[in-house]
Chain A
Amino acid sequence: MKDRVIEILETMHPGVDYEVETGLIDDRILDSFDVVSLVGELMDEFDVQILAEHMTPENFNSAESIAQLIESLED
């Protein structure tokens, strides 16, 4: 899961070490439009519905937390 998330992140906004980065939102590595297109892709790719209330920095700060969010939505 995490690997597929990283793959999506890399084609969106390359040049970041997504394996270790934990401040994607807090350090403004992704801007608001990046996050929105990322969410669009995640929903298409994993067939989950991400809601506005999931849009917190904690959920999107790292590839790990994004993967966890998707796993929780798949259940």
Chain B
Amino acid sequence: MQTDILEYLEKSAERCPEKTAFADEVSSLTYGQLKELAQRAGTYIENTLGGDRRPVMVLMKKSPENLAAFFAVLSSGRAYVPLDCEMPPARAGLIKGNLMPAAVITGEGLSERATELFGDDIRLIDWEEAAKSDADSAVLERVAAGHLDTDPAYILYTSGSTGVPKGVVVSHRSLIDYVDNFCEGVDVKSDEVIASQAPFYFDASLIDIYCTLKMGGTLHIVPLPLFSQPIKLLEFLKERSVTMIRWVPSAMGIVSTFRALDSLRPESLRLIIFGAESMPVKCFDYWRAHYPDSRFVQIYGPTEITGICTYYEVPADRPAGEVIPIGRAIANSGVFLLDENDRLIAESDAGVTGEICVKGSCLAHGYYNDFERTRAVFVQNPLNSLYPELIYRTGDLAYYNEKGDLVFASRKDFQIKHMGHRIELGEIEAAALSVEGVNSAVCFFDTVKNRIHMAYVSEGLGDSELIEALKQKVPRYMIPNVFHRMDSIPMTPSGKADRVRLKEEYI
């Protein structure tokens, strides 16, 4: 039985050592090179950190080496923590405080950035140096001998409503379960050439990285600027004979907005996977018209259940204008709906909305160093009173359609999806409230125009000062689009901010 995610690398390196695994515009790594790098740097990390088994952060630009660094951390028997190089220092400090990592691996030219983000009381591991050292099979074998499939493989930080990001801890077992069942369910082929859009610090990239690794395919990292140059983007796909993409609808939107496929259609594209936010019908219809024989798959799932837990292959005869369902559970994942009283909603109860709940090996262990927030959503299955069985409550609301497919409805709380990012509005509010001079702040979201609004009360600050302050605290994609400075925030009778009234007034 496979217990270590790196067995994919072992096997692919044996089968096709000379084949390119990961590439960007300037560099590439074959499976053989990747394995060697992981072993060299893995030995270095283990020798450097010794008995310190805590997770290792990775601060590198999106590149083939970045992935080699993940695998090196895994080879050393530790969990890796991918980071966004562009995050503001305040957020980096919160992550560091929660994680207390053993070290941070920094890529070329990023050691100063690491100090800026984390201060100088953190151990830096220079990637170049780690990659140059010698592999020691005795060291790596000793590490492997102590490995369990329940050991964490990675920790991904996601927005937290209290203002502190949550580190989702995912084990090798969950990741293997996900990758195996995804590749089989969606039928990912061994000659797949994938074009990667999602940043590596998002779970959306797991499909790109690990389907490639397992199947022995090739992953090309699309340079970010191409996502505003649609023709060049399509040229990139064509030149590399890309067969599969897993993109957020916003990224596919750039192609449809400019009708770029009218002038250039990469023939090789046969599997088009999208998710993480709702797909505009206009965008979908445009792509479908140009790829009538390719497969289109919508996927759904939060970070806490590793990757995705449901998928839906859009049939050729999809009725025009129909909302695209999120579909049915992936193999070996239990997905069901609970109503407000924690009773099961049957598939035959079409149209009845409930909370999506998930069980199975796909469940993450929980949030790192945060038992309280873990216990709030990883809970005993209310349908089982006989033995301990955890489920994850997603907070997403959905219903079954007449065919028994799940259709996403809305959120239970104030989490939103904005430009492919999962954001807790509470995190933005907490950031604003920590700015001196801000007395209150409430965020609400315009789902039609895709805009974050913030109503706030401040005696001294105006919009531009508040924006400048927020830039130091939250990532760029969390900065509200529209600000409303008010004398007071309208309240509901129970004393909470009246978001309904705010929405009525401003949206």
Contact = CB atoms under 8 A, between A and B. Distances in A.
Chain B CB within 10 Å, residue with most, of A33, A37, A52, A53:
A52
Chain A CB within 10 Å, residue with most, of B230, B258, B419, B483:
B258
Given A11-B451, A14-B467, A52-B258, A36 B228 contact: yes
B452 to A, nearest CB: 11
A14 B481 contact: yes
A13 B480 CA distance: 8
Given A40-B253, A55-B258, A14 B228 contact: no
A72 interface: no
A15 B259 contact: no
B227 A32 contact: yes
B481 A52 contact: no
Interface in A22-54: 25, 31-33, 35-37, 39-40, 43, 50-53
Contacts of A11: 451, 481-482
B121 interface: no
B463 to A, nearest CB: 6
B225 interface: yes
Contacts of B258: 39, 50-52, 55
Nearest to B421: A33
A55 B260 CA distance: 11
B137 interface: no
B348 interface: no
Contacts of B476: 31
Contacts of A25: 228
Contacts of B479: 13-15
B374 to A, nearest CB: 32
Contacts of B257: 36, 39-40, 43, 50
B188 interface: no
A15 B464 contact: yes
B263 interface: yes
B224 A32 contact: yes
Contacts of B260: 52
Interface string B446-471: 00001100000000000110011001
A50 B230 CA distance: 12
A33 B198 CA distance: 13
Contacts of A73: none
Contacts of A51: 258-259
B254 interface: yes
B230 A55 contact: yes
Give the size category of B's interface with A: 20 to 34
Interface string A1-22: 0000000000111110000000
Contact of A33 (B229, B250, B263, B468): B250
B269 interface: no
Interface in B313-331: none
Contacts of A12: 451, 481
Contacts of A36: 227-228, 250, 253-254, 257
Given A15-B463, A36-B254, A53 B231 contact: yes
Nearest to B453: A11
A26 B479 CA distance: 21
A4 to B, nearest CB: 16
Contacts of B226: 32
Contacts of B481: 11-14
Contacts of B230: 52, 55
Contacts of B225: 32
A4 B420 CA distance: 27
Contacts of A50: 257-258
Chain A CB within 10 Å, residue with most, of B257, B259, B468, B480:
B257
A37 B224 CA distance: 16
B254 A32 contact: yes
Interface string B220-245: 00001111111100000000000000
Contacts of B254: 32-33, 36
A51 B479 CA distance: 29
Contacts of A35: 228
Given A15-B464, A40-B253, A52 B482 contact: no
Nearest to A51: B258
Contacts of B467: 14-15
A52 B251 CA distance: 14
A40 B491 CA distance: 35
Contacts of B482: 11, 14
A11 B451 CA distance: 8
Contacts of A53: 231
Given A13-B479, A32-B228, 11 more contacts: A12-B481, A14-B483, A15-B467, A32-B227, A33-B420, A39-B257, A50-B257, A51-B259, A52-B229, A52-B258, A55-B229
13 contacts: A11-B481, A11-B482, A13-B481, A14-B467, A14-B481, A15-B464, A15-B471, A31-B224, A39-B258, A43-B257, A52-B230, A52-B260, A55-B229
Q: Rank and list the top 10 A-B pairs by shortest CB-CB distance, nearest first.
A: A15-B467, A32-B227, A32-B228, A52-B258, A36-B254, A35-B228, A52-B230, A52-B231, A52-B260, A33-B419
Interface of A: 11-15, 25, 31-33, 35-37, 39-40, 43, 50-53, 55
